[in-house]
């Protein structure tokens, strides 16, 4: 099909504009974090940091208990993502591949669970955790984050399981595999990109959560990074260099994770399209 | 990541291309499988997920429901007193004009956001499908960066972008000739605060829609387009007769999720300006938080939470009903 | 037999540590209050940001650990969201043992039952506490907190900038002050004054200066008095001050920390607490030599501007299992030695007259004294606490006026909310 010059240019031009629009805030965060303060508060923005400084990062990391918070955040996030993936995989398999009474109701249950507004229930959660003597602990955080991301994980994984051709499983079973073996050897490898892609939602949710940890864990040593970031911001107010350095440090692990996992997931998608 | 809630089974989204061969849905027990064990299997597989959800979501919900019928202020909270007060909290909340303003505001705010997100997300997704390999990668990188920004960090960055002094947005507007914006305080009015929040939410949500929609388009069988063009369909016609019907279930599901996410969004609105100025950007979750936790009127807060859930159920009722029906047809 | 023994221990305990009675649970009553009897315990103290200078913490900790054998842990709290944090903490089984509570918020906590009755401590060490300072902690005839210190706002200015503008004397009246600020604006590139729109404690002082009040009594209920002409007049004064600042009209002095802004050396002056000078010096050591202080000038040279007397009390959590140890801490922290040291280091006014000699030669304290003499507080009623909850309607009122609304209209806009909160059950 022939396209006019205009027809060829505008998609690319739009893509560039969109790229700038989406990437700029992230770029500006990193750029500000590396700029000396004089370049940050200047009448005309300095678009590209020329003298790179690490002072802001030093200030950001200098906070009390910083590394404890990092450890707590990583622990809680990784555990809740792993737990929710494992639990959800069982459920997703049943929902995608089996026929049983109450299936419809269960799917809608997960849809409803996905709607739960956790932030508005924090007093109820607080009282439950308090009355069970579990305050200042990472356990309730892990549990609640797991349940927070579980419904969407189930619903999403269900799609991935359903997309694995059933014949593959059946032929494996004809070859003498049990259903479990067929799952582990045939379906699971095919599900890997799906699992990775699904985990992103969990990572971002658990990594970012702060109203709950704010009320549950008053002990600094049991807090997580979002609290550090939000308190940092009030404490340093208009010190944008340090605030952006803190934001960069906070966002970086998730950004890396997304770029890494998303590439796999998307390439899985395109592969499928090419082969199809 | 791809979403597949009910109703998307016929369309794409999943990472691995779905087999085109129509496979019978549901389970055909493999020969030799004891049927009794087979019958219990799905329930056993679902048990952990259900148990976790029922216990750790159901419990707070029930607790929240109970609190909403109590007079719960600092004194009661500190002394662990339970003072039932019937429907007082609900009566107080529902009789307050402010509450209804907030409901209206939340619904409009959600609608504006979701419409923008879905339109821009769909267009961006279609653009992705049309781009060459290199440009597509470039745009994907931009989208993934925005998508991956944790809201707490993103909100901080937006505060800096829109800062009154030295904020790059004000500088740009000034340079473009809009000089009154040089020292503009974006958080000084309801409208412009919402504008910032809206931009933040749209920026953060479009990538999800766009990337998944693009993924879905890659699963549209090429033969369908060929058949359409044989029928003499132009670009627009083949879009409306092939692409759109194929994507429809996916669009429904995504809209459903975006409605939920936007309606529930808390971090972005609260961190930008704590619902200000003058509490004019409080949506229902913020209102529940400010009245309950902020104002230490925990019983009233619980009642507002409960009403928030009700409103969300009403908004999504249409989709849920549709999902239920589709499930019925399927089985 | 066993019961008798237990009773004997209880009696012995009561004889030694009289302070352990009065509503606490019996955990401590068998213990001897002498040295080393608390070994292995850790006392947690919540102090607010800026209240406790490092040196003081070090000295008090050393004295406390020496006397009791227990450990002392200070945890610094931010003002932002502190009410909710204290409320939930007091409800927990393991609350902070001692906590600093602002004087305006103390009555609200006293009625919740979350604070231990310290009447016995008062009779032991509080005979000479300044009555007006101690008053905020008394509810229903019981002492729910020990007065710790109070302070008020002064003008903290950058001498270098003022010299650059050619100003020699500190202003004695409000008009002189305005003129000086104008001069700074004209002759230097500095911002004359950093004053955000929501420094509502400063505004409260100005209301007191006008002879007004934030609430009035209607029948047996308190209602908002924001519509009063005196309040409007105070707001006009505030507005005039604020016009010399580029600070945001919709933020308070902690967002960003005004001392941090001032520390950059590009601001002529700001109005803050004495310890905020310390915050500025921490942020930028070079500013120390340029710091100066003077009372906020009033209408006439004879009477400086009235100020809000921000006080802090030390309370013991009712739920604390270490009540006796907590009282030991209070006895040390509030002793003449350490109370005096705190006054000296932070430039705050101590809880008894006799210790005010510590402030001699302290530039901050000397600037505070004249204003404090004509100062006042927010209404000391339990109902008041809720008004200060975020979002504070008084702050909304201030921003509205600063953005051009008439004081009367702005008052109308927030009065319903204030009345609602005043009527809120505790």
Angle C58-C64-C69 from CA coordinates, rounded to 5°: 120
CB-count burial class (<10 Å; 0-12, 13-18, 19+) for C276: buried
Q: How far is CA B246 from the centre of its chain?
A: 22
pLDDT at B46 over 90: yes
| pLDDT on residue A234 | 66
Given a cut of 70, is residue B94 above it in pLDDT?
A: yes
Residue B22: the pLDDT is: 39
> Which CATH number does B98-330 carry?
1.10.3720.10
> What is the per-residue pLDDT for A235?
63
| Cβ contact A98:B41 at 8 Å | yes
Burial classification of residue C204, based on how many CB atoms lie within 10 Å of its CB (0-12 exposed, 13-18 middle, 19 or more buried): buried
ipTM of predicted assembly, 2 dp: 0.90
CA nearest neighbour of B187 among B200, B174, B175: B200
C251 CB contacts (<8 Å, ≥6 apart)?
A: C196, C197, C198
Higher pLDDT, residue B278 or B18? B278
Mutate which: A218, A220, A228, A242, vs C, most C CBs within 10 A: A218
3-state secondary structure C347-372: CCEECCHHHHHHHCCCHHHHHHHHHH
| Residue A144 touches chain B, beta carbons under 8 Å | yes
Q: Rounded to the nearest 5°, which phi and psi values hold at C73?
A: -125, 115
If 0-12 CB within 10 Å is exposed, 13-18 middle and 19+ buried, where does residue B22 land?
exposed
Contact B75 C113 (CB under 8 A): yes
CA C265 to mean position of chain CA atoms: 26
Mutate which: A56, A266, A268, vs B, most B CBs within 10 A: A266
Distance from the Cα of B80 to chain C's closest Cα (Å) equals 7
The DSSP-derived string for C179-217 is HHHHHHHHHSSSEEEE--TT-HHHHHHHHHHTT--SEEE
- If you compute the radius of gyration of chain B from its CA atoms, what whole number of angstroms results? 24
Q: How far is it, in rounded angstroms, from Cα B136 to Cα B312?
A: 36
Name the pLDDT band for B243 (thresholds 50, 70, 90).
Answer: confident
Q: Give residue B276's pLDDT band: very low, low, confident or very high (50, 70, 90).
A: confident
Q: Pick from B12, B74, B150 the residue to mutate for testing the A interface (most A CBs within 10 Å).
A: B150
Q: Taking all residues of chain A, what is their mean pLDDT, rounded to a whole number?
A: 87
Does position A230 have pLDDT exceeding 90, yes or no? no
Determine the Cα–Cα distance for residues A37 and A49; give it in Å rounded to an integer: 11
Query: Helix (H) and strand (E) counts for chain A?
Result: 13, 0
- As given in the structure block, the two tokens for residue C425 are 């059950």
pLDDT score at C318: 95
Q: Which CATH number fits domain C2-150+310-364: 3.40.50.1110, 3.40.50.150, 3.40.50.720, 3.40.190.10?
A: 3.40.190.10
Touching check for B91 and chain C: CB below 8 Å? no
Q: Between chains, do A117 and B305 touch, taking CB under 8 Å as contact?
A: yes
Can you give the residue ranges of every domain in chain C? 2-150+310-364, 154-308+373-422
The 10s digit of each residue's pLDDT in C129-159 is 888 778 888 888 899 999 999 888 999 999 9
Phi, psi for residue C102 in degrees, rounded to 5:
-65, 145
Q: B127–A150: do the CB atoms touch at under 8 Å?
A: no
CA–CA separation, A53 vs C421, rounded Å?
49
The Cα B175–Cα C371 span in angstroms is 47
Distance (Å, rounded) from C-alpha C364 to C-alpha C358? Answer: 12
Tell which A residues from 166 to 225 touch B, by Cβ distance under 8 Å.
166-167, 170, 173, 179, 190-191, 193-194, 197-198, 200-201, 204, 207-208, 210-211, 215
Q: How confident is the model at residue C372 (pLDDT cuts 50, 70, 90)?
A: confident
CATH of domain A55-275: 1.10.3720.10
pLDDT attached to residue C184: 96
Confidence of residue C361 (pLDDT cuts 50, 70, 90): confident
Give pLDDT, residue B24. Answer: 41
Taken in order B200, B205, B211, B213, the sign of the CA dihedral is negative
pLDDT per position as a tens digit, C377-404: 888 888 888 898 888 999 999 999 999 9
CA distance to partner chain C, nearest, from residue B296 (Å): 7
Percentage of chain B modeled with pLDDT above 70: 87
| Residue of higher predicted confidence among C371 and C14 | C371
**CA A35, CA A12: separation in Å to the nearest integer?**
32
Chain A residues touching C75 at Cβ < 8 A: 220
Q: At what angle do helices A240-275 and B151-161 cross, to 10 degrees?
A: 120
pLDDT tens sequence across C245-272: 999 898 899 888 899 889 989 999 999 9
- What are the residues whose beta carbons fall under 8 Å from the beta carbon of A276, sequence distance 6 or more? B17, B20, B219, B221
Higher pLDDT, B292 or C21: B292
Domain map (residue ranges) of chain B:
98-330
Among residues B241, B279, B238, B217, which one has the least CA distance to residue B13?
B217
Q: Minimal Cα–Cα distance from A12 to chain B, Å?
A: 7
Instruction: Return all residues near C40 (Cβ < 8 A) that are at least 6 apart.
Output: C70
SS3 C349: strand
pLDDT score of C8 more than 70? no
- Beta carbons of C390 and B273 less than 8 angstroms apart: no
**Contacts with C257 from chain A: Cβ below 8 Å:** 235-237
Report the alpha-carbon distance of residue C104 to residue C74 in Å, rounded.
23
Out of B160-164, C4-8, C140-144, C173-177, pick the least confident.
C4-8
Q: Which residues of C touch A (CB under 8 A)?
A: 75, 78, 80, 84-85, 88-89, 91-94, 254-257, 260-261
Sheet holding C98-102, edge to edge: C71-77, C42-48, C98-102, C310-316, C146-151, C349-350
Contact state of B16 with A193 under an 8 Å Cβ cutoff: yes
* Most confident region among B88-92, B276-280, C23-27, C350-354 by mean pLDDT: B88-92
B131 Rama sector, left if φ>0, alpha if ψ -120 to 50, beta otherwise: beta
pLDDT tens for B286-297 read: 999 999 998 899
Residue B101 sits at the chain C interface (C-beta within 8 Å):
no
Q: What is the CATH number of domain C154-308+373-422?
A: 3.40.190.10
- How far are the Cα atoms of A229, B258, C314 from residue A234, in angstroms, in the given order? 9, 30, 25
C-beta atoms of B290 and C391 within 8 A: yes
Q: Looking at chain A, how many residues does it have?
A: 276
DSSP structure class, residue B56: I
CB atoms inside a 10 Å sphere around CB B47: 15
**How far, in Å, CA of B198 to CA of C309, rounded?**
42
Rounded Cα distance between A81 and A254, Å, is: 13
Angstroms from B285 CA to nearest CA on chain A: 6
- Mean of pLDDT values over B50-79: 95
Burial label, C223 (beta-carbon count in 10 A; 0-12, 13-18, 19+) = middle
How is residue C116 annotated by DSSP?
A: -
Q: Are A209 and A145 in contact (CB under 8 A)?
A: yes
What pLDDT digit, counting tens, does each position of C183-222 carry?
A: 999 999 999 999 999 999 999 999 999 999 999 999 889 9
User: Residue C292: pLDDT above 50?
Assistant: yes
Tell the burial category of A38 from Cβ atoms under 10 Å away from its Cβ (0-12, 13-18, 19+): exposed
Pairing state between β C142-143 and C138-139 = antiparallel
What's the pLDDT band for C79 if we cut at 50, 70, 90? confident
Q: How many CA atoms lie within 13 A of B34 on its CB side?
A: 4
pLDDT score recorded for residue A263: 67
Phi, psi at C44, each rounded to 5°? -105, 130
Chain B residues with CB inside 8 Å of C254's CB?
none
Q: Do A156 and B42 touch (CB under 8 A)?
A: no
CA A236 to chain CA mean position, Å: 27
Mean pLDDT for A126-151 is: 96
Indicate the SS3 state at residue C102. Answer: strand
Report the alpha-carbon distance of residue A167 to residue A155 in Å, rounded: 22
**Ordered DSSP codes for A101-135:** TTHHHHHHHHHHHHT--GGGGHHHHHHHHHHTT--
């Amino acid at each position: 099909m022939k396209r006019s010059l205009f027809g060829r240019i505008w998609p690319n031009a739009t893509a560039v504009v969109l790229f700038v629009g989406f990437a700029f805030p992230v770029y500006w965060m990193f750029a500000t974090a590396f700029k000396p303060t004089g370049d940050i508060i200047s009448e005309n923005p300095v678009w590209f940091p020329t003298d790179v400084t690490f002072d802001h990062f030093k200030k950001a990391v200098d906070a009390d208990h910083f590394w404890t918070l990092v450890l707590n955040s990583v622990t809680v996030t990784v555990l809740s993502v792993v737990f929710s993936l494992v639990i959800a995989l069982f459920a997703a398999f049943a929902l995608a591949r089996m026929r049983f009474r109450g299936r419809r109701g269960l799917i809608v249950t997960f849809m409803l669970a996905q709607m739960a507004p956790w932030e508005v229930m924090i007093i109820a959660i607080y009282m439950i955790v308090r009355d069970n003597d579990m305050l200042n602990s990472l356990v309730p955080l892990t549990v609640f984050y797991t349940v927070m991301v579980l419904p969407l994980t189930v619903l999403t994984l269900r799609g991935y399981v359903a997309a694995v051709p059933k014949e593959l499983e059946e032929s494996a079973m004809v070859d003498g595999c049990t259903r479990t073996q067929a799952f582990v050897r045939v379906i699971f490898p095919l599900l890997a990109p799906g699992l990775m892609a699904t985990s992103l939602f969990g990572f971002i949710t658990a990594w970012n959560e702060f109203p709950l940890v704010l009320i549950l864990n008053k002990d600094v040593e049991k807090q997580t990074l979002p609290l550090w970031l939000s308190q940092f911001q009030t404490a340093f107010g208009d010190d944008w260099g340090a605030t952006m350095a803190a934001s960069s440090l906070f966002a970086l692990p998730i950004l890396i994770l997304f770029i890494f996992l998303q590439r796999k997931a998307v390439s899985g998608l395109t592969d499928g399209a090419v082969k199809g | 990541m791809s979403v597949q809630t009910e109703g998307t089974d016929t369309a794409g989204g999943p990472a691995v291309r779905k087999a085109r061969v129509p496979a019978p849905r549901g389970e055909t027990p493999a020969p030799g499988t004891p049927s009794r064990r087979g019958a219990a299997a799905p329930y056993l597989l679902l048990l952990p997920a259900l148990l976790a959800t029922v216990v750790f979501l159901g419990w707070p919900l029930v607790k929240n429901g109970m609190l909403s019928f109590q007079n719960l202020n600092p004194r009661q909270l500190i002394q662990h007193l339970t003072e039932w007060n019937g429907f007082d909290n609900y009566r107080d909340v529902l009789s307050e004009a402010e509450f209804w303003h907030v409901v209206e505001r939340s619904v409009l705010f959600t609608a504006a956001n979701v419409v923008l997100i879905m339109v821009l997300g769909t267009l961006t997704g279609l653009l992705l499908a049309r781009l060459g390999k290199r440009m597509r990668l470039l745009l994907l990188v931009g989208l993934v960066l925005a998508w991956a920004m944790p809201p707490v960090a993103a909100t901080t960055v937006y505060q800096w972008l829109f800062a009154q002094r030295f904020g790059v947005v004000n500088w740009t507007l000034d340079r473009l000739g809009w000089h009154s914006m040089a020292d503009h305080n974006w958080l000084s009015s309801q409208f412009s605060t919402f504008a910032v929040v809206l931009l933040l939410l749209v920026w953060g949500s479009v990538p999800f829609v766009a990337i998944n929609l693009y993924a879905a388009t890659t699963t549209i069988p090429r033969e369908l387009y060929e058949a359409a063009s044989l029928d003499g369909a132009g670009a627009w016609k083949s879009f409306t007769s092939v692409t759109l019907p194929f994507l429809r279930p996916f669009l429904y599901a995504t809209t459903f999720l975006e409605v939920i996410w936007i309606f529930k969004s808390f971090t972005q609105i609260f961190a930008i300006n704590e619902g200000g100025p003058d509490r004019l950007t409080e949506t229902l979750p913020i209102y529940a938080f400010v009245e309950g936790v902020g104002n230490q009127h925990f019983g009233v807060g619980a009642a507002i939470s409960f009403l928030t859930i009700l409103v969300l159920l009403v908004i999504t009722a249409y989709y849920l009903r549709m999902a239920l029906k589709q499930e019925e047809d399927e089985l | 037999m066993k019961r008798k023994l237990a009773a004997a221990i209880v009696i012995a305990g009561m004889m030694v540590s009289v302070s352990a009675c009065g509503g606490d649970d019996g955990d401590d009553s068998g213990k001897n209050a002498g040295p080393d009897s608390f070994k292995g315990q850790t006392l947690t103290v919540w102090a607010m940001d800026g209240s406790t200078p490092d040196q003081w913490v070090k000295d008090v900790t050393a004295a406390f650990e020496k006397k009791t054998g227990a450990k002392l842990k200070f945890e610094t709290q931010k003002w932002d969201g502190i009410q909710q944090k204290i409320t939930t903490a007091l409800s927990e089984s393991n609350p902070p043992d001692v906590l600093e509570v602002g004087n305006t918020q103390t009555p609200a906590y006293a009625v919740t039952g979350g604070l231990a009755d310290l009447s016995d401590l008062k009779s032991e060490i509080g005979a000479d506490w300044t009555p007006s300072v101690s008053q905020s902690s008394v509810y229903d005839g019981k002492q729910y907190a020990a007065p710790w210190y109070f302070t008020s706002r002064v003008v903290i200015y950058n001498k270098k900038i003022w010299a650059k503008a050619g100003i020699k004397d500190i202003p004695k009246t409000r008009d002189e002050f305005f003129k000086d600020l104008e001069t700074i604006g004209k002759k230097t590139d500095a911002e004359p004054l950093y004053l955000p729109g929501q420094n509502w404690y400063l505004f409260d002082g100005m209301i007191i200066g006008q002879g007004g009040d934030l609430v009035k009594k209607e029948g047996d209920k308190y209602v908002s008095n924001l519509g009063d002409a005196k309040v409007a007049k105070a707001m006009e004064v505030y507005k005039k001050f604020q016009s010399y600042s580029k600070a945001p009209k919709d933020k308070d002095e902690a967002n960003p920390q005004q001392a941090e802004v001032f520390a950059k050396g590009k601001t002529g002056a700001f109005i803050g607490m004495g310890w905020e000078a310390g915050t500025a010096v921490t942020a930028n050591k070079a500013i120390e030599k340029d710091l100066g202080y003077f009372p906020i000038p009033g209408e006439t040279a004879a009477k400086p501007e009235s100020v809000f007397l921000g006080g802090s009390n030390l309370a013991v959590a009712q739920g604390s299992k270490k009540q006796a140890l907590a009282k030991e801490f209070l006895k040390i922290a509030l002793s003449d030695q350490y109370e005096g040291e705190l006054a000296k280091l932070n430039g705050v006014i101590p809880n008894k007259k006799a210790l005010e000699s510590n402030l001699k030669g302290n530039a901050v304290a000397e600037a505070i004294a004249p204003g404090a003499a004509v100062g006042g507080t927010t209404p000391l009623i339990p109902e008041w606490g809720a008004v200060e909850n975020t979002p504070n309607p008084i702050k909304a009122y201030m921003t509205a006026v600063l953005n051009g609304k008439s004081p009367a209209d702005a008052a109308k806009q927030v009065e319903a909310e204030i009345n609602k909160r005043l009527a809120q059950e505790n």
